C-alpha cells in the first residue's frame, strides 16, 4: 500500500483535481464574479474543494469496481450541476435554486430559449468525465486503484472539515454574517462555492417549508408596525382621478427604458410609445424588481406590493397562499371584474392555481385564442393577433373591469417573421441584442393597434391604461454589445440603471390634456397603491411595501431582489455604493442605512410569504384565534 502511493497517483485524487480545476475555470469563464483582491481570488479558488473532497471521498467505502463506477457517475452529476448553472447564468446572470427546479413543468415551453443558450464547445466541460472513463477502463500503470486503510480514510475526512472551516472563516472575515445574505447568491457562490451554495440552498428550502407550519400570525404585528410607520398618503390631485373607469394593465414583455426615444439604424425603436408617453403620466426612473420568476414575479409585485421570493418563483413556491388582500380580490368590492388575457398554457408558471388565489375570475388562456402557424412566432401567438382577438372578449365583460394583458413576442430569443419587421437588426457581436430591436419595435406596433382597437370597440374613453415593462430583455452577458449601442462603457452602475423599464399611465380626457413626466424613483412594488389610489381606493391599512408613485411624501427608494437599491442620490449594487450625480463609487457608509432598510423589507416580505401570514389578517387587524390556526396549520 505504501509503495503504491509512492509510485502511483490514486484514482480518487485524479477525480478531485480534475473537478476542482474545471470548476475554477468555469468560475472564471462562465460566471461574472467580481473579484477585488488576491484574498477574494484565493477564496474563489479553494471554495469548491471541501465539497468535491467529500462527495468524491464517499468512493472510499466501495470496492474497487464500485469506486470506479461511483466516481464516474458522481463526476458527471456534479459537472451537470455546474453546466446547468453556467447555461442559466448566460441569460439570467444568476444561479439555480432548488425552488427553480420545481418549475420543471415550464421546460416544455422554454425549448427555444434554452437551446439558444447552449453551445457545442460546452461539451469540453465533460472532458474530465471522459478522462476518468478511459483511466478506469485501461488502468494505466501510473494510476492506483488500491483501497485506503481506515486510518488514512479518517485523516482524509478530517482534512475536509478543516478545509471547509478554513474556507468559511476566511469568507466571514471578507463578508461578515455571510450566511444571512441569502438574497445575494453571487456573494454566497463567491465565498462558499457553487456546490456548497446548493447544499445551503437545500437547508434553506427545508427551513422555509417549515415556516408556514410554525407561523401563528404574531410575526405580522412587527411587520404591520413597520408598514404603518412608513405609510405615504396619496396626492389629492391624483386620488380618484380614474374612479369608475376600467383598469387595463399591459405588461410590456422584456421592454427596457433604453429603447424609449432611441433609434436603431436611424429609425425610432418605439415610435408609438414615444408619442403616447407625451400624452400620459410617464415615469422615467421606474425599475423592475423581479427575481428568478421574471414575468410571474412582475405580476406578483403588481397585485400584492410584496417582494418576490429570493429563490425560485413565488407563483410556484407559494401559489396556494392566502392572497385575499391582492388587488384582484379587493377590487371586486368596488364592483370591478378582474380578468387576465395571456395566450399561453394556463399551467405555465402555475397561473391556473395562483390566479384563483389572487382573485381573478376569468383567465383567457391559449384555449381562448385561434393560434396557428401563420399567426405565431417564438413563444406563441403574435402580439397584434393577441390584442385583436382579445377585444371581443373585453366587449362581453361587465364594466368596470380590471384586465391584465401579458404580451409574448418581445421575449428571448427574440425571433420574428420577416413580414413583421419594421426595423432592421442591429450589428454587434450579440445576436440577442441584434434581434431585440425588431421585436421591441413589433411590440410597440402592437400597442398602437391595441389602442386603435379599444377606440373602435368603444372601450377607450372609459378606461385607464397602465403599461409597464416586466423585466430586462438584455442581460449583463451582452454588456459589450450594449456598450457599442449606447456609446459608453457599461459598468455595474450603468447595469443597475439599465434595469429601468417603461411605466406609462394613460387616462383619456385627463392625461392628454395635462401630460407630465415624473423623475420619481419608483418600482413595480409601487403599482398596487398607485392603481388603487387612482380609482379612489384607500390603502392605509394595507400590508404592502410600495408607495403611491404620485405621493408627495414618497421616499424615492427602490429595492432590488438581490439587496441592491436606488434612491434619488445614491445607488447600491454588487456590494458597491455609487453617487448618482458623479456615477462614481463612494464610501459604503453613505449606503449603510439604506442597506439595512432594504434587508429589513426583503426579510419582512419573505416572512409574510413563507409563513403565509396574510391568512391572519382581515384587512384592518391581525386575527390570532385558535380556530383559524387549527384550520390553516
User: Would 584 be classed as within a structural domain?
Assistant: no
Residues 152 and 289 in one domain: no
Counting Cα atoms < 13 Å in the Cβ hemisphere of 189 gives 25
Among 113, 117, 89, 114, residue whose Cα is nearest residue 32: 89
Same domain, 182 and 71: yes
pLDDT, mean of residues 329-336 = 94
Q: Is residue 111 scored above 80 in pLDDT?
A: no
11 or 437, which is more confident: 437
pTM for this predicted structure: 0.79
Taking the C-alpha atoms of residue 108 and residue 366, their distance in angstroms, rounded to an integer, is 15
Q: How far is CA 526 from the centre of its chain?
A: 17
Residue 632 to residue 35: CA distance in whole angstroms = 47
pLDDT in tens, 146-205: 778 888 889 999 999 999 999 988 888 877 767 665 556 778 888 888 898 888 878 877
pLDDT higher than 70, residue 629: no
Considering the domain boundaries, does residue 614 fall inside one?
A: no
Tell me which residue of 217, 236, 163 sits closest to 193, measured CA to CA.
163
- Statement to judge: residues 200 and 280 lie in one domain: no
What contacts 24+ positions apart, CB below 8 Å, involve 72-75? 72/129, 72/132, 72/133, 72/136, 74/15, 75/15, 75/18, 75/19, 75/128, 75/129, 75/132
The alpha-helical segments, DSSP class H, found in 139-218 are 150-174, 185-192, 194-214
Across 49-146, the runs of DSSP E, i.e. the strands, are 143-144
Is residue 525 assigned to a domain? Answer: yes
Q: Containing H/E element for 248?
A: strand 246-252
Extended beta strands in 534-623, E state: 557-559, 565-567, 570-573, 576-579, 584-586
Q: Are 468 and 251 in contact (CB under 8 A)?
A: yes
Range of the domain at 53: 2-211
Angle between helices 49-57 and 194-214 in degrees, nearest 10 = 80
Answer yes or no: do 22 and 102 share one domain: yes
Q: What is the pLDDT of residues 275-314, one digit of tens each?
A: 999 999 999 999 999 998 889 999 999 999 999 998 878 8
From the list 295, 317, 439, 573, the catalytic residue is 295
Domain CATH number, residue 520: 3.40.720.10
Burial 263-300 (b: 16+ CB within 10 A, else e): ebeeebbbbbbeebbebbbbbbbbbbbbbbbbbbbbbb
| pLDDT score of 197 | 84
Distance separating the N- and C-terminal Cα atoms of the chain: 58
Q: Check whether 339 has a pLDDT greater than 50.
A: yes
Closest CA to 117 of 145, 149, 89, 146: 89
Do 547 and 555 contact (CB within 8 A), yes or no?
yes
Query: Grid coordinates representing 69?
Result: 463506477
* pLDDT at site 88: 80
| Closest C-alpha among 26, 21, 502, 600 to residue 256 | 502
Examine residue 126 and state whether it is found in any structural domain, yes or no.
yes
Q: Is the pLDDT of residue 626 over 80?
A: no
22-36, 107-121, 500-514: which is most confident: 500-514
Q: Using the predicted structure, report yes or no on whether residue 627 has a pLDDT greater than 50.
A: no
Q: Cell 405555465 identifies what position?
A: 348
Q: Which residue has the higher pLDDT, 181 or 630?
A: 181
- Residue ending a domain, among 194, 211, 228, is 211
Q: Is 295 a catalytic residue?
A: yes
Report how many domains make up the chain.
Answer: 2
In a domain, 576, yes or no: no
Provide the 3-class DSSP secondary structure of residue 36.
coil
Q: Are residues 164 and 313 in the same domain?
A: no
Q: Is residue 607 part of a domain?
A: no
Question: What pLDDT, in 10s, does the model give residues 542-575?
Answer: 999 999 999 999 999 999 999 999 999 999 998 8
Asked if residue 64 has pLDDT above 90, the reply is no
Kindly tell me the sign of the dihedral angle through the C-alpha atoms of 151, 155, 156, 157. Answer: positive
Q: Are residues 194 and 304 in the same domain?
A: no
509 burial class (0-12, 13-18, 19+ CB within 10 angstroms)? exposed
pLDDT at 104 (0 to 100) = 52
Q: Which three cell numbers stand for residue 65?
A: 469496481
Do residue 8 and residue 143 come from a single domain? Answer: yes
- pLDDT, mean over the chain: 89
- Cis status, amide bond into 386, omega within 30 of 0: no
pLDDT tier at 632, thresholds 50, 70, 90: very low
pLDDT digits 0-9 by tens, 569-594: 999 998 899 999 999 999 999 999 99
Amino acid at each position: 500500500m505504501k509503495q503504491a502511493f509512492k509510485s502511483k497517483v490514486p484514482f480518487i485524487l485524479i477525480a478531485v483535481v480534475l473537478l476542482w480545476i474545471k470548476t475554477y475555470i468555469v468560475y472564471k469563464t462562465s460566471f461574472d464574479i467580481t473579484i477585488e483582491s488576491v484574498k477574494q481570488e484565493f477564496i474563489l479558488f479553494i471554495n469548491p474543494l471541501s465539497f468535491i473532497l467529500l462527495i468524491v471521498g464517499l468512493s472510499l467505502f466501495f470496492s474497487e469496481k464500485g469506486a470506479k463506477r461511483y466516481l464516474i457517475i458522481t463526476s458527471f452529476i456534479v459537472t451537470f450541476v455546474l453546466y446547468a448553472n453556467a447555461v442559466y447564468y448566460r441569460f439570467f446572470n444568476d444561479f439555480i435554486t432548488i425552488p427553480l427546479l420545481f418549475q420543471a413543468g415550464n421546460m416544455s415551453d422554454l425549448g427555444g430559449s434554452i437551446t439558444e443558450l447552449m453551445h457545442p464547445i460546452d461539451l469540453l466541460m465533460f472532458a474530465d468525465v471522459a478522462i476518468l472513463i478511459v483511466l478506469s477502463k485501461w488502468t494505466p500503470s501510473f494510476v492506483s486503484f488500491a483501497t485506503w486503510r481506515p486510518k488514512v480514510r479518517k485523516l482524509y475526512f478530517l482534512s475536509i472539515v478543516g478545509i471547509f472551516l478554513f474556507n468559511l472563516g476566511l469568507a466571514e472575515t471578507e463578508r461578515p454574517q455571510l450566511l444571512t445574505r441569502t438574497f445575494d447568491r453571487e456573494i454566497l457562490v463567491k465565498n462558499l462555492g457553487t456546490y456548497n451554495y446548493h447544499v445551503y440552498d437545500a437547508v434553506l428550502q427545508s427551513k422555509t417549508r417549515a415556516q408556514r407550519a410554525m407561523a401563528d400570525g404574531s410575526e405580522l404585528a412587527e411587520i404591520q408596525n413597520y408598514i404603518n410607520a412608513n405609510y405615504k398618503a396619496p396626492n389629492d390631485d391624483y386620488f380618484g382621478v380614474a374612479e369608475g373607469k376600467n383598469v387595463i394593465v399591459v405588461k410590456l414583455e422584456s421592454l427596457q427604458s433604453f429603447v424609449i426615444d432611441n433609434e436603431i439604424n436611424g429609425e425610432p425603436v418605439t415610435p408609438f410609445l414615444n408619442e403616447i408617453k407625451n400624452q400620459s403620466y410617464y415615469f422615467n426612473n421606474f425599475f423592475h424588481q423581479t427575481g428568478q420568476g421574471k414575468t410571474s414575479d412582475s405580476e406578483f409585485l403588481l397585485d400584492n406590493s410584496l417582494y418576490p421570493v429570493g429563490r425560485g418563483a413565488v407563483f410556484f413556491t407559494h401559489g396556494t397562499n392566502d392572497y385575499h388582500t391582492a388587488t384582484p380580490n379587493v377590487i371586486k368590492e368596488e364592483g370591478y371584474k378582474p380578468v387576465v388575457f395571456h395566450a399561453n398554457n394556463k399551467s405555465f408558471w402555475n397561473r391556473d392555481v395562483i390566479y384563483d388565489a389572487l382573485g381573478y375570475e376569468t383567465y383567457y388562456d391559449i384555449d381562448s385564442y385561434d393560434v396557428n402557424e401563420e399567426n405565431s412566432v417564438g413563444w406563441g401567438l403574435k402580439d397584434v393577433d393577441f390584442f385583436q382577438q382579445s377585444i371581443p372578449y373585453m366587449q362581453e365583460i361587465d364594466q368596470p373591469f380590471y384586465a391584465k394583458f401579458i404580451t409574448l413576442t418581445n421575449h428571448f430569443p427574440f425571433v420574428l417573421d420577416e413580414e413583421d419587421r419594421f426595423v432592421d437588426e442591429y450589428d454587434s457581436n450579440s445576436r440577442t441584442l441584434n434581434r431585440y430591436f425588431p421585436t421591441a419595435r413589433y411590440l410597440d406596433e402592437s400597442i398602437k393597434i391595441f389602442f386603435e382597437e379599444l377606440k373602435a370597440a368603444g372601450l377607450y374613453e372609459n378606461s385607464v391604461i397602465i403599461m409597464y415593462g416586466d423585466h430586462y430583455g438584455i442581460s449583463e452577458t451582452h454588456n459589450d454589445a450594449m456598450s457599442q449601442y449606447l456609446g459608453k462603457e457599461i459598468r455595474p452602475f450603468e447595469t443597475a440603471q439599465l434595469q429601468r423599464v417603461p411605466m406609462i399611465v394613460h387616462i383619456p380626457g385627463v392625461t392628454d390634456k395635462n401630460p407630465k413626466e415624473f423623475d420619481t424613483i419608483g418600482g413595480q412594488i409601487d403599482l398596487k397603491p398607485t392603481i388603487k389610489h387612482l380609482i379612489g381606493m384607500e390603502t392605509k391599512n394595507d400590508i404592502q411595501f410600495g408607495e403611491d408613485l404620485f405621493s408627495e411624501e414618497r421616499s424615492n427608494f427602490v429595492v432590488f431582489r438581490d439587496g441592491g437599491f436606488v434612491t434619488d442620490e445614491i445607488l447600491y449594487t454588487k456590494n458597491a455604493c455609487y453617487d448618482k450625480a458623479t456615477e462614481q463609487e463612494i464610501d459604503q457608509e453613505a449606503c449603510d442605512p439604506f442597506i439595512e432598510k432594504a434587508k429589513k423589507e426583503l426579510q419582512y416580505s419573505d416572512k409574510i410569504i413563507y409563513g403565509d401570514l396574510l391568512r391572519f389578517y382581515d384587512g384592518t387587524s391581525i386575527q390570532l384565534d385558535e380556530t383559524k390556526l387549527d384550520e390553516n396549520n
